[in-house]
Amino acid sequence: MEILAFGVQADETPLLEAAFGGPHEVRCLGVFLNEDTAPIAAGYEIVSSSVNADLSGRVLRVLAAGGTRMIAQRSTGFNNIDLDAARQLGLTVSRVSYCSPYSVAEFAWTLAMAVNRRIVRAATRTRDFDFRLDGLIGRDMRGRTVGVLGTGKIGEAFTRIAHGFGMNLLGWDVARNPACVELGMKYVDKEELFASSDLISLHVPLLAATRHLVDAAALELMRDDAILINSSRGGLIDTDALVAELRAGRFTGVGLDVYEAEAGVFFLDKSLEAVEDDTLARLVTFPNVVVTSHQAYYTSDAVGQIIAATVANVTDYRAGRRSENTLVPD
């Protein structure tokens, strides 16, 4: 059986082709799955999608009409999939419930230190043989307070690194993580976390209850010299409200690996096109902001685990089995 995989990066292609050997072969496409590209999947029983795919009800209906019966998403997040529509259409939908939490946690810290120590500005200067230190001053992390919103596997990994720095640990989540408590984390309400933290990092999923978790009110509570990091989902932050605060000269730094309107932009080369998103265009001009293109998960370790899980999901589907990765049927 041949599987059609959308949104495959160049680094992923040989890994996917090697993993789907034997009874399952894979055809890798660089284009992302959306309403325009869905007709390509006609005749493919199994389709694999990437995190930025559009799997709305309209797209799912096109896939189902073309003979698709199973969608294997290569990511932990699945907020882009209309699960109700998938149920109505009788589709099987799976995701990857686990991949290396260290990849995202380490990248979140990479962003934090990049904005704290002005690494991008410094590197740009030295390329021009400008070795001045003006405007490059940072702060020690030791002794300062970090607020971790979401203390699951990734949040815990991020917290362990913060503990290594010697930071005071604040956490917020629907349930306490005993491992974080053992490290000395104090769980507080959101308002206290926003008001008391020198560094805030987001590690919660994007749900209806967490959309714009960092809204105008939360941003107002934050310290003027705070650092904000988001390596989870773009919709957790009200970007327009964030831009307004940045225009007012607030925050030491903001590191964003995700953006709420990233679909159709991230993972693509837009360098020769006019920028249509005024908010994104403004965001990347701030000298204290670093934006990357949803790459926190992108290590050989994590991608290997994602591909292995995707292969297992396809095998389970073919055998009529369900697993913790199966989203539909429930």
- Which entry of 294, 321, 322, 324 is annotated as an active-site residue? 294
Contacts of 193 (CB under 8 A, 6+ apart): 147, 149, 170, 171, 172, 200
- Which entry of 262, 282, 322, 324 is annotated as an active-site residue? 262
Distance CA 71, CA 49 (A): 7
Catalytic annotation present for 163 = no
Distance CA 111, CA 120 (A): 10
Distance CA 61, CA 49 (A): 15
Distance of CA 184 to the CA centre of its chain: 27
Task: Let me know: does 257 contact 294? Beta carbons within 8 Å.
Answer: yes
Catalytic annotation present for 294 = yes
Distance CA 115, CA 319 (A): 48
* Joined tokens for residue 5: 């995989």
Distance CA 70, CA 62 (A): 13
The beta-strand segments (E) located in the chain are 2-5, 25-28, 46-49, 70-73, 92-94, 145-149, 168-172, 186-187, 199-202, 227-230, 253-256, 289-291, 326-328
* Joined tokens for residue 209: 């209850």
- Which entry of 74, 95, 118, 233 is annotated as an active-site residue? 233
Distance CA 302, CA 40 (A): 28
Catalytic annotation present for 324 = no
Helices (H) and strands (E) in the chain, counts: 12, 13
Exposure on the CB side of residue 258, measured as CA atoms within 13 A: 26
Catalytic positions, written as ranges? 233, 262, 294
